[in-house]
């Protein structure tokens, strides 16, 4: 089970976000265990050693849901909003970055398979601090 809340700081998609208006819904899906993504940038020094200049660590979750077009529409437009929060069935709640919903239509009329991925935590290290991290 996952609860998804989203709203915007200004009007978007013909929705007037005034006061405390928020969209939210629950989906009875199995959120997969997170993947830990590490992006690394490095330069080679004159000795041929790789010196890290930037590291970005993120925690990424995914789930799949079969649904009709209205829910596929909602999931695919969440990425346009500047405030997205999820609450997982274990009580973990976090602000989301990079909410992506990929819609794939099935052979059954009006039924879509939507694969959703989202990042809940991101940490970056750059410059001299990154150079001290183990490559």
pTM, entire model: 0.79
Cβ neighbours of residue 18 under 8 Å, at least 6 residues apart?
Answer: none
CB 53 within 8 A of CB 131: yes
Cβ neighbours of residue 1 under 8 Å, at least 6 residues apart?
Answer: 26, 27, 28, 29, 88, 89
Tell me the pLDDT band of 130, cut-offs 50, 70 and 90.
low
pLDDT of amino acid 132 = 61
The backbone torsions φ and ψ at residue 88, rounded to the nearest 5 degrees and listed phi first, read -85, 165
Residue 100 in tokens: 């992506």
- Please give the Cα distance from 128 to 130 (Å, whole number): 5
CATH topology for 2-131 is Elongation Factor Tu (Ef-tu); domain 3 (2.40.30)
Spans of all domains in the chain: 2-131
What pLDDT, in 10s, does the model give residues 92-119? Answer: 899 998 999 999 999 999 999 999 999 9
pLDDT of amino acid 51 = 79
Percent of the chain with pLDDT over 90: 60
What pLDDT, in 10s, does the model give residues 46-74? Answer: 888 877 788 888 899 999 999 999 999 99
């Amino acid at each position: 089970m996952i609860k998804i809340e989203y709203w915007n700081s200004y009007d978007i998609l013909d929705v007037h976000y005034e006061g405390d208006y928020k969209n939210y819904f629950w989906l009875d899906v199995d959120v997969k265990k997170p993947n830990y993504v590490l992006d690394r940038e490095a330069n080679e020094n004159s000795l041929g050693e790789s010196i890290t200049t930037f590291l970005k660590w993120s925690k990424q979750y995914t789930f799949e849901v079969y649904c009709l077009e209205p829910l596929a529409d909602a999931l695919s437009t969440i990425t346009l909003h500047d405030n997205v929060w999820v609450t997982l069935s274990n009580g973990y709640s976090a602000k989301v970055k990079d909410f992506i919903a990929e819609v794939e239509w099935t052979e059954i009329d009006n039924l879509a398979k939507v694969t959703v991925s989202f990042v809940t935590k991101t940490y970056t290290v750059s410059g001299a601090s990154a150079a001290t991290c183990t490559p």
